[in-house]
Amino acid sequence: MPERKDERLSLPSVRLSAYESVVGEAEIEQIRMLAAPMAGATIQHLNSTYAGGGVAELLSRLVPLMNDVGLDARWDVIRADRRFFEVTKDFHNALHGAYEEIVPEHYKTYLETTRKNLELVSRDADFVVTHDPQTVGLVEAREPARTQYWLWRCHIDLAEADPRVWGFLRSYVERHDASIFHLAESGKDLLIPQILLTPAIDPLDEKNRELPQEEIERIVTGFGIDPTRPILLQVSRFDRLKDPLGVIAAYRMVRKWQDCQLVLVGGSAADDPEGEEVLAEVREAAASDPDVHVLALPPDSHRTINALQRAATVVVQKSIREGFGLTVTEAMWKGKPVVGASVGGIRRQILSGINGYLAHTTAGVAFRIREILSNKGLAERLGRAARTYVFENFLITRYLKSWLLALHSVRTGVRISPTYI
C-alpha cells in the first residue's frame, strides 16, 4: 500500500468577497451572518481522492470558502491500493443498481483498508464528514465519550441499490448523526436524519469563468475540431454508467440528417480503476469516424474543458445512472442547451422544454439534438433559461450557505428530516 504524504493538500486561496460581483452584497452578508455562530468550529472532510470527479472538485472550492468565513476546515484522503478501489468501484456500480458479483473477499478488503485508515480521523474535529462508500466505514474511529458530530455525504443515487452492498454499508451510515443526499429519491429510509443538499459549481474557477473567444478557438482547433461546424459534447469520466457508447450511437442517428461533430471528453480518477478499460472501448467504437474526437484529459484540465463547453452547440449527458451531474450544471451556466437522460440529479436541473430537454432513449436523445440543431432561436432560448436556473439554484455560494445550515441543524439538534436546504 503506498504511503500517504504528510503534507496537506495545497488548496487555492478563495475569498467569499470575490463572489459579490456575481451574487450581490446581500447574499454575501447573509452567508457571513450564518457563519458567525460557527466561528472556530473544526470540520474534517474525508474522501478517496484529491483529483478526478465531482467530489474532489466540490471540496477543492468548498473547503477554502469554509475557512474564509471563519471555520477551521480540512480535507484528508484515505490511503488505499488498487484492489480497494476495484472493490469500491464494484460497490459503486451495485449501489447504482447494476449487477456485480460481490463475494466475501470484497467485504474483507474493504474492512482491512478501512481499519488501516482509522488513524486519519481527527479526534479534535467538531464535525467529521465522510464522503461516499469509500470512507463511511471510518466511523469505526468514533469515540462515544467524545462530543463530535458525524455526517455521511452521499453523492450517488441509492434508489436501486443492491441490497447486499447497501445492507453492509447501512450499519456504518447509521452510526453517523445525519446523512446528506442530493435528492429525496436518491436516499434510503434511515434511523438518522436526512438532509437534502444539492451540489453546485464555482462561477469563478477555471472551469466556469468567462474566456476570450480567441482562446476558445485556439483550444478547440488544437484538438482538430472545426469550430465552424456544429459540435456535440459530453464531458464525464469514462464510465459505463455515463453511457459514452450510447452517445456515439445517438450522434450517428443525428448524422444521417445533419452535419455535426462529436467530442467525448473524460479523464481518470485514482478511485476508478475501470476507466482505462471503458476508454479503450470508446476509442474502438469511434476509430472509423474522423468526426468523433475522444479526449482523455488530466484532472487539472479545467480551462480546456471550459473552452470545449463554450464551443459546443449542444451538450449531452446520457447517463444510465447519475448522482447529480455537475457537468450538466457547468454547461447550463455557459448558456448551452443540454439534452440529458432523465436520471438522478439531471432531472432536478433540466426542466424539459424550458431550459433543456430530458430524454429516455438513445433515439430520444438524437431527436432532441436534431431539434436544437435545426432551430437557433430555440437553442438560444433554452440556453438563457439554463443559465438563469443555475444562477438561482446551483452556485457555490448557495452551497456554502446550505452547508452552514446543515452544520447548525446537526449541532443544535433541530431535526430536518428530510428537507432541502
From first to last of its 421 residues, the chain has per-residue pLDDT tens of 333 333 456 777 789 999 999 999 999 999 999 999 999 999 999 999 988 778 998 999 999 999 999 999 999 999 999 999 999 999 999 998 888 999 999 999 999 999 999 999 999 999 999 999 999 999 999 998 788 999 999 998 898 999 999 999 999 999 999 999 988 888 889 999 999 999 999 999 999 999 999 999 999 999 999 999 999 999 999 999 999 999 999 999 999 999 999 999 998 666 677 888 999 999 999 988 999 999 999 988 999 999 999 999 999 999 998 889 999 999 999 999 999 999 999 999 999 999 999 999 999 999 999 999 999 999 999 999 999 999 999 999 999 999 999 999 999 876 654 444 4
**Threshold 0.85, pTM exceeds:** yes
Residue 420 has what pLDDT? 45
Distances (CA, A) of 5 to 8, 117, 120, 204, 378: 8, 13, 12, 29, 51
State the CB neighbour count (10 A cutoff) for residue 120. 16
CA dihedral 416, 419, 420, 421 (to 10 degrees): -10
Grouping H, G, I as helix, E, B as strand and the rest as coil, residue 233 is: strand
Which domains are present in the chain? Answer: 16-200+395-420 (3.40.50.2000), 213-393 (3.40.50.2000)
C-alpha dihedral (315, 323, 366, 243), degrees to nearest 10:
100
Using only the alpha carbons of the chain, give its radius of gyration.
21
